[in-house]
Amino acid sequence: MNKVIALILAWCMVLSAGSLLATGLTGSFGEVLIENLKIGCSFSTRDKANLPYVVTNAGPNNIDVGIDVISPLPKNLKPGYEPITDLSWIKLEKKSFILKPQEQGSTDIVFNIPDDEKLLGRKFQAVIYPYTFDGMLKIGVNSNILFTIDTEKGPYPTYLNPKDFKDKQTFEVAPLDIYVEDVPLGKKVDLEKKYGLVFKITNTTDLQCKYYMNTIKVQDQLSVATLKEGYLDTPDPNILSFESIELVVNPKETKKMNLYLHFPKNKKYAGKKYMFLIPVVLGYQEVPVIRYAYLYVTTQK
């Protein structure tokens, strides 16, 4: 796992939980972190990281969809991030679609950061805003894009040939939000046996892929998540463990991974609500892709 984490620290793409819903319109991600963008260079999320932005009409009627890049509201800024200085830094390949029921439309997201050394090392936040209309009412969903600027100038690293994975999807994890209550202290609990919870990874590519699992604190340097109201950060990520830290999944296959909780028998953990983050890393790309699952735990009093 050290090798994977080292790659993530050098250059990482983090996807947070789930698609968003507004009158049948969904977006392919809720929050993304892209690290170490280079000033004066172009970066395509489709070609370089296999991450087009996909909108889906999940409703029963045809809809007209527009997509804009907008600035985040001050109250929605992540700690340590600035609102994007200039919206022209982000270009969308396509900005409108007419979608039939269950039809998808995708667009590339291209970053062009100015060649300005004053931007080195800074962190910015923007919002991808797909929307449709319900009568005269404009209704949409927000997808946060957080990005950091590398501390040094220079070209991007050498990537895998984009033709090897362009237009391929990556993977899905489910469930993305896991709630368990009345967890006992002092014993190892199998979440499937006790709660019927099965954690699944689906490989939607045409390639055999290896995935790595880990647990981190919400306030870890790799996390872009925030604590859910009423929950504490995990006191120790090792309280949550896995059947294995890696899983090989064949093309178009779904496999499950057993999860275990083992709280120490100590009254300081009793009657508390804790939040754990589970990053699942796709290991075959030079730009690692991570999907987060969220585990919310309430312990016995």
In one-letter notation, the amino acid at residue 73 is: L
Q: Counting Cβ atoms within 10 Å, is residue 240 exposed (0-12), middle (13-18) or buried (19+)?
A: buried
- Tell me, what's the pLDDT at 26? 78
Q: Are 258 and 243 in contact (CB under 8 A)?
A: yes
Q: Does residue 127 surpass a pLDDT of 90?
A: yes
Other C-beta atoms within 10 Å of 290: how many? 21
Domains 2-163 and 168-299 share a fold: yes
Q: Which fold has domain 2-163?
A: Immunoglobulin-like (2.60.40)
The architecture CATH gives domain 168-299:
Sandwich (2.60)
Q: Does residue 25 surpass a pLDDT of 90?
A: no
- Tell me, what's the pLDDT at 12? 37
Return mean pLDDT, the chain: 81
Q: What is the DSSP letter of 118?
A: G
pLDDT in tens, 214-224: 888 887 655 66
Domain regions of the chain by residue span: 2-163, 168-299
What's the rounded mean pLDDT across residues 110-125?
94
Q: How confident is the model at residue 158 (pLDDT cuts 50, 70, 90)?
A: low
Q: Does residue 188 surpass a pLDDT of 90?
A: yes
Other C-beta atoms within 10 Å of 84: how many? 19
Please state whether the predicted TM-score (pTM) of the whole model is above 0.85.
Answer: no
Element (H, E) at 247: strand 246-249
- Tell me, what's the pLDDT at 35? 78
pLDDT in tens, 251-288: 889 999 999 999 999 999 999 999 998 888 776 554 45
Cα 49 from chain centre: 13
Q: Which of 26-35, 44-53, 252-261 has the highest mean pLDDT?
A: 252-261
Helix (H/G/I), strand (E/B), else coil: 10? helix
Q: Does residue 143 surpass a pLDDT of 50?
A: yes
pLDDT in tens, 71-108: 999 888 887 899 999 999 999 999 999 999 888 888 99
Question: What CA–CA distance (Å, rounded) separates 88 from 78?
Answer: 21
